[in-house]
Structure 1
Amino acid sequence: MHTISTNAYGADLAPIPSLSGPEWPHVSHIAIQECGERLLPMSLAPSPIKVFPAYARLGIPGAIPECFVREGVYRALLAAARSLPPGVHLLVLDGWRPWRVQQYLFDTLHEAIHHNHPNASEDELLARTREFVSLPSRDPAAPSPHLTGGAVDVTLCDADGLPLDMGTLFDEAIPASHTDHFEQLGELPPSQQQVRDNRRLLYHAMQQQGFTNLPSEWWHFDLGDQLWAHYGGHRQACYGPAELDTIENRWRRQIS
């Protein structure tokens, strides 16, 4: 039986609910009423937010050395971070993602799965790839979540910036990365209880600020995009595909 736990920080944490993966055909048909919010760099945020643009640090082609999110996401992340117990910080790993990076991640994971399962059909490969990386899409009616600036990848860290143990690394494409994984294992040793409680702490801090979670990834949360509308029961999304406001784009708009 799942029970509310009190973790090392003294917070009462309810179990993470078990949800099914997204029905992508349904998600992609959710209407988007673009609200026009700007993208903001998370490096502007004060403590207790910390920022580590993981893909740029890993040398992923096309990755940018910053984590941009929509303004509403920025403010909700700050609120989530401020709700955490003393000594625990929110660490932002990725936000708005260039299409080129989305394509690279999808192709790389698809190739890795095909290498390990050479007899799998294309439908099977696609399903397993989409479990952890969404289809690269710039379609205004069905963009990749990270292309909207509404999807964000986060974890928890201590006051020194060291990530807490969440049971898997960020972006590990394995069953243990499913958000509810440790809720399903029954009696846990103390080390795994701490992992479970760390996930609970992150999940509830984000949920209380309006975020929804992608069930296959404990680190992935959405606000305002189609996945958020799907899991939050909203009639429409408010974030479509977004682009950075570069100097080149500004000049093109300003010069007549």
Structure 2
Amino acid sequence: MTPSDPLSLAEHPIPTLSDPDWAAIANLPIVEEGGRLHPTSLGRAGMATWPIYHALGVPGAVAECFVREPVYRGLLAASNMLPEGVGLVVLDGWRPMAVQRALFERLHTLMAERFPEYSNDRLYQKTRAFVAPPSDDPAAPSPHLTGGAVDVALCDECGLILDMGSAFDEVCSASYTDHFETHLDAEDAMLYRARRRVLFHAMASAGFVNLPSEWWHYSLGDQLWAWRTGARAAQFGPTSPYTIEQRWAASLV
């Protein structure tokens, strides 16, 4: 059982999770429950938003973090479980297809340059451990295209993001969520372990599942979530923010 007492979150180890079976995940049906995307910047105290890809200048990245309503409510619930003086920061939610493609292709290129001895299959697998392949297939979309995947971190009472032992999107073994459960030789390893435990158990208590290769990535309602929880179907397929054109079209009756 996931702990719900904020004072005990850091006392419980992060379980070792199996790597996702992406073929099985892609074959899970999606029963779209609808619902628009909501900006996480609406969140009350205890939850902040910092659209990191937009801040880093990634072309096409939006200046907001959009998520489905159950995800939004889950984030608020997780933030309420955090110890006093610790807050939740949303770094990314819904992602445009162009951004998903750019991130995957750029990392794949860098991997190929860094590891020329890798086979094409190994390069692909190493890349997808940190960036999902771009897909807007209604039956098997990239998680961030659904509004059901979110990237989060912890911050202190001043809003400064806490050091989690590796940076967001850092492609290294230390980014695996349970890394510091077994690797305690690094300086401040116990601190990083405690912070990751707090984040993991708060998010899990709110209904999210984690991508084990990324301490920051959590899902609720997408195919990864359905596979990890044993749900018969995912709740969210590919979507996009509601536009003014859609509002006008709906009102012109």
Deviation at 1:12, TM superposition (A): 4.7
**TM-score, structure 1 as length reference:** 0.93
Which residue, out of 198, 201, 204, partners 2:201? 204
Q: Separation in 2 of the partners of 1:167 and 1:110?
A: 24
Aligned: 1:223 with 2:223? no
Distance (Å, rounded) in 1 between the aligned partners of 2:186 and 2:99 = 38
Structure 1 unaligned residues grouped into runs of 5+: none
**2:45 & 2:84 partners in 1: Cα distance?**
12
Tell me the amino acid that sits aligned with residue 99 of structure 1.
M
Q: TM-score, normalised by structure 2?
A: 0.94
Distance 1:191 1:175 in 2: 16
Separation in structure 2 between the aligned mates of residue 37 and residue 88 of structure 1, nearest angstrom? 30
Q: How far apart are the structure 1 equivalents of 2:239 and 2:64?
A: 15
Please tell me whether the aligned partners of residues 91 and 153 of structure 2 are also in contact (alpha carbons under 8 angstroms).
yes
After superposition, what is the alpha-carbon deviation per residue over 1:156-212, rounded to whole angstroms, capped at 9, x for unaligned?
000101111100000001111000111122x55671101000000000000001100
Q: Name the structure 1 match of 2:237.
A: 240
* 1:166 aligned partner, one-letter code: M
TM-align CA RMSD: 1.8
Offset, 1:255: 3.9
Q: Which of 164, 169, 172 is residue 170 of structure 2 equivalent to?
A: 172
* CA pair 127-33 structure 1, distance change in 2 beyond 3 A: same
Separation in 1 of the partners of 2:238 and 2:165? 32
Query: What does 1:8-23 align with in structure 2 at a 5 Å threshold?
Result: 11-23=9-21
Deviations 1:77-118 (A, max 9, x none): 001001111100001000001111100100010000000112
Report how far residue 230 of structure 1 moved: 1.0
Distance 2:158 2:223 in 1: 35
The list of structure 1 runs, each at least 4 consecutive aligned residues, that deviate by more than 2 angstroms after superposition, is: 9-13, 187-190, 248-256
- C-alpha separation in 2, matches of 1:189 and 1:63: 34
Secondary structure at 2:140 match in 1: coil
2:29 is aligned to 31
CA distance in 1, matches of 2:117, 2:43: 47
Paired residues of 2:222 and 2:236 also in contact (CA < 8 A): yes
> What secondary structure sits across from 1:236 in the alignment?
coil
Counterpart residue identity of residue 234, structure 1: A
Question: Among the aligned pairs, what percent are the same residue?
Answer: 53
